[in-house]
Structure 1
Amino acid sequence: MTDNATDVGSGEAIDYIEVENSEKFRGLKRKHRSFVFPMALVFLVWYFVYVGLAGWAPDFMAQRVWGDITVGLLFGFGQFVTTFVITMAYVSFANRRLDPDASDIRAELEKQEAGA
């Protein structure tokens, strides 16, 4: 038995390295990265703009918008809102684009494991 395969009952050994190198799995990873990397970049830029403004433009961040509500407070609240929006967008993306492909890959492996 090699490190790349696992014996499973009466079924065939599954070569997980082969699965990882398959076009279906690479496509799944590509789809995942197509969402995660751009979204992470957008969020990090937004975050560092917020931190930069807080450090280098305190007068701007201290401007009152309404009563005691300042630009900095709105930007800080916006960080939380953005986190939830990104999370909801990812869940929707995963449900529509990733889960069907992952289910297909899993079904193929389960079929192979069962020796069908």
Structure 2
Amino acid sequence: MSSQNEKVWSDMQASPEFQDLKRKFRGFAFPLTVAFLVWYFLYIILTAFAREWISTPVVGNINVAFILGLLQFASTFLIMWLYERHSSHSLDGPSDALRDKVDKELSK
């Protein structure tokens, strides 16, 4: 990579627009990741240490553990949908603008 290209990239990464984009991404992704990991490890801990409670039947052969397992899948899809929505509304436009700015600078 040439020194001109390195300068363009480092200038872009130091720009307020890029810093704002990182802040928006991290402000969404990090809390949601922590929340999901807490939820996931809670499920694992319950299956390891609260076997009596999670084996409680709810309807027929369906017990609490089965419902919590299904909720793990549901929460994964919910997170995917929330991230796509956040990305479309808050990240895609600014990142496209930054990409165009970098492309313009690199083509000089």
Q: Same fold (TM over 0.5)?
A: yes
Instruction: State the SS of the aligned residue for 1:15.
Output: helix
- Counterpart AA for 1:72: A
Q: Is 1:51 aligned to residue 51 of structure 2?
A: no
1:18 CA drift (Å): 1.1
Distance (whole Å) between structure 2 residues aligned to residue 34 and residue 81 of structure 1:
22
Instruction: State the SS of the aligned residue for 1:100.
Output: helix
TM-score normalized by structure 2?
0.92
Q: Is 1:84 aligned to residue 77 of structure 2?
A: yes
Structure with greater proportional helix content: 2
Distance (whole Å) between structure 2 residues aligned to residue 85 and residue 45 of structure 1:
16
- 1:3-58 alpha-carbon deviations (Å, 9 max, x no partner): xx33xxxxxx8620111111100110110000100000110010111011111100
Bigger-Rg structure (1/2): 1
Distance (whole Å) between structure 1 residues aligned to residue 8 and residue 103 of structure 2:
13
Contiguous gaps of at least 5 residues in structure 2: none
Distance (whole Å) between structure 2 residues aligned to residue 80 and residue 17 of structure 1:
40
Q: Which residue of 2 aligns with 1:111?
A: 104
Contact 2:9 2:102 survives alignment (8 Å): no
TM-score normalized by structure 1?
0.86
- Counterpart AA for 1:55: A
1:114 CA drift (Å): 3.9
TM superposition outliers: structure 1 runs of 4+ over 6 Å: none
Distance (whole Å) between structure 2 residues aligned to residue 15 and residue 104 of structure 1:
15
Instruction: State the SS of the aligned residue for 2:58.
Output: strand
- Counterpart AA for 2:19: R
